[in-house]
Amino acid sequence: MPSVALLGRRGLIVALVLVLAFFILGPLVWLALWAFARSWQYPSLAPSGWTLSWWRTVLTTPGLDHSIALSFIFAPVVTAASVLICVPAAYGFARYSFPGRRALLVSLFATNAFPKIGLYITMAGMFYTLHLMSTFLGVVLVQLIGTVVFMTWIPAAAFAAVPRSLEEAARDVGAGRLRTFWHVTMPLALPGILVAVILSFLASFDESQGTFLVGTPRYITMPIQMYSLVLNYPQQAAAVFSILLSVPSVVLMFLVRRHVMGGRLAEGFQLK
């Protein structure tokens, strides 16, 4: 027979799980309800009726298709640029010691230490002089800033976690530096890099402040479109848009779940 203490502990765990579920799932459920609500006013507990009209409103917004397309162009481009710039840097941070290594690594946080909008306004000033305002490159650059930190830190940790003896074993059987990186280091660091890629993709996809400042009026991405929708339509439209905006994130998470959760990194070798 379970003791009172055990029952108490179980009860506590159940309560915690419920609270957590409420905080995580609650807003999502609420969002889903709103997206199909005809109207929903205090004090009624449920919407007064159901409708798909908000979906029609949102999906027929002029320029929406264009914003969706834009977002799906910017996010991959920014992520790819971020990978090209940051992953080699991450490898450098993980495998070589050079003067100023720590200072550089920490200074990457500096971009996140200030209110973003202040940084963006300064950047906008620079971009005017460089004729980057309202250009594709300008938007890519401003979105890139937000991805640099985790695109460097997470892969650096992943590279550092690859035991050197695995790389040495590859050199030993005849692989040069490049092949060793490609066949051993890279695959083993891949889960960490994938996490950074997802975060970077989503950061770019959801970025609004900088894009708004640098890109408008030429480049209206989905989040910026959402701002105007939220301002011009009732809450239901915003709910529909939020759901649309979260679709790519969910799809991405499912795609890479196996790789990230696989825990391959910890398998197969014994640490000294």
Partner 1 sequence: MAGLVLAGVTKALGGRVVIDGVDLTVGEGEMVCLLGPSGCGKTTTLRLVAGFLYPDSGRVLIDSVDVTETPPEKRPTAMVFQNYALWPHMNVFSNVAFGLRLRKLSKEEVRSRCEEVLRMVNMWDLRDRRPAQISGGEQQRVALARALVLRPKLLLLDEPLSNLDAKLRVQVRDEIREIQQRVGITSVFVTHDQDEALSISDRVAIMAEGRVEQVGSPDDVYRLPRTTFVAGFVGIVNRFRGRISGEGVHLASGPGPVPFAEENSKRLASEVAGEWDIIVRPEDVIVEPGVRSPNGGSPVVLVREVRRGHFKECIFGFCGASLGREQGMDALRIRAFLPAGGDVGARASIKFRRVLLYREGLLAHEVGSSEAGRSEGAPVGRTGW
Rounded to a whole number of angstroms, the minimum distance from the CB of residue 51 to partner 1 is 51
Nearest CB to partner 1, comparing residues 65 and 168: 168
Residue 206 burial (10 A CB sphere; 0-12, 13-18, 19+): buried
Q: In degrees to the nearest 10, what's the CA dihedral of 73, 75, 79, 81?
A: 50
DSSP 8-state code for residue 264: G
- Cβ-in-10-Å burial (0-12, 13-18, 19+) of 154 comes to buried
Q: Which of 248, 79, 230, 211 is nearest to 155 (CA)?
A: 79
Cα(129)–Cα(138) distance, rounded to whole angstroms?
Answer: 12
CB of 92 to partner 1, least distance (A): 20
Report yes or no: 139 and 211 within 8 Å, Cβ to Cβ.
yes
Please tell me the distance from the alpha carbon of residue 57 to that of residue 237, in angstroms, as a whole number: 7
What is the smallest separation between the CB atom of 235 and partner 1, expressed in angstroms?
A: 48
Q: How many CB atoms lie within 10 A of CB 240?
A: 23
CB-wise, 68 or 195, nearer to partner 1? 195
Binding site for partner 1 (CB under 8 A): 163, 165-166, 168-176, 179, 183-184, 187-188, 264-265, 267-272
Shorter beta-carbon distance to partner 1: residue 102 or 177: 177
Q: Which tokens belong to 43?
A: 């004090």
**Please, which residue, 243 or 260, has the CB nearer to partner 1?**
260
DSSP assignment letter at 50: B
Least Å distance between CB 245 and partner 1? 35
Minimum distance from residue 169 beta carbon to partner 1 (Å): 4
Residue 105 or 166: the one with the smaller Cβ distance to partner 1 is 166
Shortest spacing between CB 164 and partner 1, in angstroms: 9
Nearer to partner 1, 38 or 259 (CB): 259
